[in-house]
């Protein structure tokens, strides 16, 4: 009996030792690179990777995997840390399952080695199998130099899975620190990139290399900061003021998206009357069709509770894209913005709108298009840089999309831009127009300059003659009723009824199914 108690005591001691070892390892893994590195992170005004995950996910829902992975590098000068500079796992955001990875800058500068890459690949595979959104949080020094080609191979494996996941599950990336070299291509392959102002940085080659090769002095922020990528390159879809704002934006964005491409976005109850009309809507338009006005006022008037999540707000501002709800249903909005370049289409706006349309189509989000555009932006800069090639992307995006598409022409819709902005011929389902719509090959002034060139030259008062002829052209040709007679406009509507008319269209199209010819993929003119 005594021997039995002795053996039992030894067994209990062994178990306790093993459990103690587990908790020591757990404490070590959760300690990141150590208190000094954590304090250094905080001194820069940055949260740690674990703090970021806790901020984003619902409380006590995060389950970490590969917590005790370490690198395989045999270099004695490289210390081994549990987790290998990366945290991966899954949890919920507002009750919805998501998979997540976050670089830990406190461990080897968040550099990516072979095993860290394998962790990302594993969590990406889990997200694909589960059909749930994937969220990446970047704060990394890039490829781990000590691991050479194995680090580069890791990026290649990640890029492949980014491509396989594209259009299958939503992929969202938050840049809350440095991201350099080949590492920047993974976020660029995801659906949405958020960058924290004065913190997030992305560039293929850093300022030192730029100075060495091109003798150009440029700061980190100027080269690849949040504002640069939000306004110039278009890499960043959203700018966040700080990390808290960044996580709030991710949560808001997720609320409009389905879990995967086989599901519909969540339909929520709306307190905004679907039959609500707005008698002031038409007053937003100026009497002179060539004066500026803010299209966002119209958008906010027709969507639920005036809530509109704009995407790429600071990039290609002559077109507006973003998410809203109508009668509780998530929709994607595409609209010309007369405040910038008169709402004309150009290279950047075509790219911006085309990619947004393709995202909406991939994830079963109906597309609402509001049109007021004088045409494509003219000039040698646009032509030489490929407006023909880039502009065709917008045509392709509308043509290949099969989700419900409702277009409303509010003002000008001239020439090729009329066709490109969700016209009936690109297979929009319902095409409305306001009485103020002007649909024509050319604007009245440009048209009569060509048609009546001789009359204008011979007229003693060319300006008065031009105004008279332009009015006659506008009354006879540039109005929505000609298009309505031909069936390319389904209905001319009272502006104040825009919201209920769109919602009724969405209700009618809720069960829409439309086939396309089988093919591996479209050969879009990239």
From the DSSP assignment, how many helices (H) and strands (E) are in the chain?
20, 17
Confidence of residue 207 (pLDDT cuts 50, 70, 90): confident
Q: How far apart are CA 109 and CA 482, in angstroms?
A: 64
Cα torsion angle, 512, 518, 519, 520, sign:
positive
- What are 100-118's pLDDT values in tens digits? 999 999 999 998 999 999 9
- What are 487-519's pLDDT values in tens digits? 999 999 999 999 999 999 999 999 999 988 999
Q: How far apart are CA 40 and CA 425, in angstroms?
A: 58
Q: Which two tokens stand for residue 135?
A: 């969220």
Q: How buried is residue 422: exposed, middle or buried, by Cβ count under 10 Å (0-12/13-18/19+)?
A: buried
Confidence of residue 195 (pLDDT cuts 50, 70, 90): very high
Q: Is the pLDDT of residue 146 over 90?
A: no
Confidence of residue 458 (pLDDT cuts 50, 70, 90): low
- What are 469-479's pLDDT values in tens digits? 777 777 777 78
- What are 281-295's pLDDT values in tens digits? 989 999 888 899 999
Q: What is the pLDDT of residue 464?
A: 66
CA dihedral 308, 421, 442, 295 (to 10 degrees): 0
Q: What is the pLDDT of residue 131?
A: 98
Q: Which two tokens stand for residue 131?
A: 């059909």
Percent of the chain that is helix, strand, coil (3-state, to 5): 45, 20, 35
Domains of the chain: 37-255 (3.90.226.10), 281-443+478-508 (3.90.226.10)
Confidence of residue 76 (pLDDT cuts 50, 70, 90): low
What is the mean predicted confidence (pLDDT) over 158-186?
Answer: 94
Task: Show the CA angle centred on residue 120, arms to residues 114 and 126, nearest 5°.
Answer: 135
Q: What is the pLDDT of residue 78?
A: 73
Q: What is the pLDDT of residue 455?
A: 67
What is the mean predicted confidence (pLDDT) over 51-56?
Answer: 98
**What is the SS3 assignment for 100?**
strand
Q: Is the pLDDT of residue 433 over 60?
A: yes
Asked if residue 415 lies in contact with residue 457, where contact means CB atoms within 8 angstroms, the answer is no
Q: What is the pLDDT of residue 149?
A: 87
Q: How far apart are CA 485 and CA 269, in angstroms?
A: 38
Catalytic residues: 181-182, 416-417
What is the mean predicted confidence (pLDDT) over 218-237?
Answer: 95
| Range from 32-41, 211-220, 226-235, 376-385 carrying the lowest mean pLDDT | 211-220
Q: What is the pLDDT of residue 1?
A: 55
- What are 330-385's pLDDT values in tens digits? 999 999 999 999 999 999 999 999 999 999 999 999 999 999 999 999 999 999 99
Count Cβ atoms below 10 Å from residue 440 Cβ, excluding itself.
Answer: 21
Q: Which two tokens stand for residue 479?
A: 């109005």
| Range from 15-24, 28-37, 254-263, 399-408 carrying the lowest mean pLDDT | 15-24
Asked if residue 256 lies in contact with residue 323, where contact means CB atoms within 8 angstroms, the answer is yes
User: What is the CB-side half-sphere exposure of residue 253 using CA atoms within 13 A?
Assistant: 28
Q: What is the pLDDT of residue 445?
A: 72
- What are 16-32's pLDDT values in tens digits? 888 888 888 889 888 98
Return mean pLDDT, the chain: 92
Measure Cα distances from 103 to 169, 191, 197, 245, 323 in Å. Answer: 21, 19, 18, 19, 29
**What is the SS3 assignment for 404?**
coil
Confidence of residue 182 (pLDDT cuts 50, 70, 90): confident
Nearest to 448 by CA among 464, 470, 415: 470
**What is the SS3 assignment for 53?**
helix
Regarding beta strands 86-93 and 96-103, do their DSSP bridges make them parallel or antiparallel, or are they unpaired?
Answer: antiparallel
Q: To the nearest whole percent, how much of the chain has pLDDT over 70?
A: 96
Q: Is the pLDDT of residue 230 over 90?
A: yes
Q: What is the pLDDT of residue 25?
A: 87
| Range from 122-131, 179-188, 203-212, 449-458 carrying the lowest mean pLDDT | 449-458
Nearest to 193 by CA among 246, 153, 146: 246
Confidence of residue 7 (pLDDT cuts 50, 70, 90): confident
Q: What is the pLDDT of residue 465?
A: 63
């Amino acid at each position: 009996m005594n021997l039995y108690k002795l053996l039992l005591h030894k067994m209990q001691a062994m178990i306790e030792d093993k459990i103690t070892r587990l908790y020591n390892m757990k404490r070590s893994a959760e300690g990141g690179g150590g208190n000094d590195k954590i304090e250094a992170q905080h001194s820069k005004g940055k949260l740690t990777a674990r703090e970021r995950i806790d901020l984003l996910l619902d409380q006590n829902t995060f389950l970490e995997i590969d917590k005790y992975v370490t690198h395989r590098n045999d270099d004695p000068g490289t210390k081994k840390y549990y987790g290998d500079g990366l945290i991966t796992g899954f949890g919920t955001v507002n009750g919805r399952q998501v998979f997540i990875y976050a670089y830990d800058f406190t461990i080897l500068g968040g550099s990516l080695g072979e095993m860290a890459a394998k962790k990302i690949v594993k969590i990406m595979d889990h997200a694909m199998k589960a059909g749930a959104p994937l969220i990446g949080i970047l704060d990394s020094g890039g490829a781990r130099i000590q691991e050479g080609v194995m680090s580069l191979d890791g990026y290649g494996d990640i890029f492949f899975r980014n491509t396989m996941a594209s259009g299958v599950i939503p992929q969202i990336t938050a840049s809350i620190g440095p991201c350099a070299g080949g590492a920047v291509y993974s976020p660029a392959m995801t659906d949405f990139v958020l960058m924290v102002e004065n913190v997030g940085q992305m560039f293929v080659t850093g300022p030192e290399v730029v100075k060495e090769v091109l003798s150009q002095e440029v700061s980190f922020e100027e080269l690849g900061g949040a504002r640069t990528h939000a306004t110039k390159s278009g890499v960043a879809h959203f700018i966040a003021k700080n990390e808290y704002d960044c996580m709030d934006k991710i949560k808001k964005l997720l609320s409009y998206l389905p879990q995967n491409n086989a599901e519909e976005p969540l339909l929520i109850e709306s307190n905004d009357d679907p039959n609500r009309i707005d008698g002031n809507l038409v007053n937003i338009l100026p009497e002179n069709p060539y004066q500026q006005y803010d299209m966002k006022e119209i958008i906010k008037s027709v969507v639920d509770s005036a809530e509109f999540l704009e995407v790429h707000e600071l990039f290609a501002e002559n077109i507006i894209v973003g998410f809203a709800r109508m009668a509780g249903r998530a929709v994607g909005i595409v609209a010309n913005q007369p405040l910038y370049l008169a709402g004309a289409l150009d290279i950047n706006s075509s790219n911006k709108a085309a990619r947004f349309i393709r995202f909406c189509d991939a994830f079963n989000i109906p597309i609402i298009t509001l049109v007021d555009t004088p045409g494509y932006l003219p000039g040698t800069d646009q032509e030489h840089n490929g407006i023909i090639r880039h502009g065709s992307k917008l045509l392709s995006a509308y043509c290949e999309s099969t989700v419900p598409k409702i277009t409303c022409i509010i003002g000008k819709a001239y020439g090729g831009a009329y066709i490109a902005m969700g016209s009936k011929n690109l297979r929009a389902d319902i095409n409305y127009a306001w009485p103020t719509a002007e649909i024509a090959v050319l604007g009245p002034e440009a048209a009569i300059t060509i048609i009546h060139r001789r009359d204008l030259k011979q007229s003693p008062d060319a300006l008065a003659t031009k105004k008279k002829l332009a009015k006659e052209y506008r009354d006879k040709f540039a109005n929505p009723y000609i298009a309505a007679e031909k069936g390319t406009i389904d209905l001319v509507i009272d502006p104040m009824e825009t919201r209920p008319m769109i919602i009724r269209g969405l209700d009618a199209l809720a069960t829409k199914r439309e086939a396309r010819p089988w093919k591996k993929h479209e050969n879009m003119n990239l």
